[in-house]
Amino acid sequence: MSEKELSSSEDEDDGCEGKVDVGVGGLEKILESTQMFDVTPEQFALEHDLMLTDTKTTDNDEQSRGRTKKAGTTSLFSVNLGKMRSMRVFYSDPECTCGQLVIATLDSHYKILHFHHGGLDKLAKIFEQWSSIKARSVQEVGSPSAIADKQLIICQPAAPTFEKDPEEGLFEKMTLNEWRSYENKAGVIVDSSTVRKHIHFASVNFDMREKVWPFLLRVYPWESSADQRDNIKNDLFLEYQNIRKKRYRTMDNAPARWLSIENSIVKDVIRTDRKNPFFAGDNNPNGETMKNILINYAIMNPEINYIQGMSDLLAPLLSTLNDEVDAYFCFTNFMKRTVFSSTPQGNENLMETNLNYLRNMIKLFEPDFYQHLEKQKPDAMQLMFVHRWILLCFKREFPENHALHVWEGCWAAWRTNYFHLFVCVAIVSVYGKDVIAQDLPHDEILLYFSSLAMHMDPVLVLQKARGLLYEFTRLEKIPCVLEGLCSAENEQWHSHKSFRNFYCNQSHTDKEVCPYQ
């Protein structure tokens, strides 16, 4: 395999330094040997001239190690097969040639090799040969080491047709012409339910986000005309000027407190999305605009103030809308949908509400994974591995453009206001089987899912999430603790608002009497 076939990038966690430097071209020779366990890995590397070339060493140093430098050495990577705990091969394309090879050491460090240009299937075959040899060695020697079939796990995540929503694939990304087809002559969206359904399944084109997002975030009512939206935009501009004036008055009255808050905001702003050209460079005015929006939000929402992570959610809004006023009001409504926001009563822990829903959803859809967590409770039941997913709305789990597709699917609020939790369950469903296979404890479950960040298949996850939501809507009876997932905004839930469609599953966290008992 050539260097191009292997990979174009590599992520390596600290502490995962291998002691065998294996050239890609020499892997097959090593694995063909049935005597590979009779000598040390170092001896094999020396014998086959596979030690990583160190350009700083002298000829004497090389001769002292019993080898000479070989010209034209291919690209190398380092892995000690004898000291690994597992290898996971994740295919990301239908042809099963591209994806990731994730190598976990016994002390829970990870090395991730990315195969962008093919070749992963060839390497997987080599490792399958090694796994077979390892298995025979374990049986013959009676070694107490890890079972070989748990060390090599080849995953081809897929969502079979029966797991998908029947309407999957019927919609294309929304274009300007399609958007206009939903409007009447006055610019009113005639059938907002169908529009939200369209976005739920296919999202919108990049150039349509500036137009559509204010509707999805309820800045503009779906039933508003074009003239009414012009008036709303003017009113919001004037309102924002009053907010800015209030900011200056408030900060003057408590300068020390607000200076501390502003410093916290600035520290986050200068680190947020710096690779995005919209925010790149020193003294970028867009960074100043982001800071102003966050301070204004903190002024107008003193019970919430500013919380680290808000800048991550604001950045895509600002770079897409490219307007401070529009970004502020879209951001304000976005916050109402996240765990950053408090309820009107100010006494509900929104994260715990989400986690309680999620525990029961995992129990319903992925009972084996739930049982694995239950064996390790109470720590595992805190679901620490999903906290970042929920807090930052999957922005750190998928490349930004795909993360924004997830956002749009959630904002569309088709069938439920909790679509983000179905996305969480979808990730567990697609990638969680390895957790059970390796019997990972709760702290390593967090490491495992963290290692998959930016390497999961977002299209597959969304298809699975929509399939799970469809399955949920088809349930004859729904656990009472999941009643809140049923959005009254959609007509398909009206039939569920009757006593006979819910049952008490004895999973209450409060002291109230269940009406379905």
* Structure confidence by residue, pLDDT tens digits, 369-422: 999 999 987 889 999 999 999 999 999 999 999 999 999 999 999 999 999 999
Q: How far is CA 462 from CA 154, 203, 388, in A?
A: 22, 11, 18
pLDDT band at 258 (very low <50, low <70, confident <90, very high): very high
Residue 24 has pLDDT above 50, yes or no: no
The number of CA neighbours under 13 Å toward the Cβ of 151 is 22
pLDDT per position as a tens digit, 60-96: 444 444 444 444 444 555 666 666 777 778 787 778 8
Q: How far is CA 312 from its chain centroid?
A: 14
The number of CA neighbours under 13 Å toward the Cβ of 350 is 17
User: In sequence order, what are the residues at sequence separation of 6 or more whose Cβ sits closer than 8 angstroms to the Cβ of residue 272?
Assistant: 279, 290, 311, 312, 315
- Residue 434's pLDDT is 83
pLDDT per position as a tens digit, 480-513: 889 889 864 554 544 444 444 888 876 665 556 7
- Residue 112's pLDDT is 75
Range 476-482 average pLDDT: 88
More confident residue, 101 or 187: 187
- Residue 128's pLDDT is 79
Residue for token pair 């770079």: 319
Residue 301 has pLDDT above 90, yes or no: yes
- Residue 437's pLDDT is 83
**Cα(471)–Cα(466) distance, rounded to whole angstroms?**
9
Q: What share of the chain is helix, strand, coil (3-state, %, to 5)?
A: 55, 10, 40
Q: How far is CA 388 from its chain centroid?
A: 9
**Entry field: residues in the chain:** 517
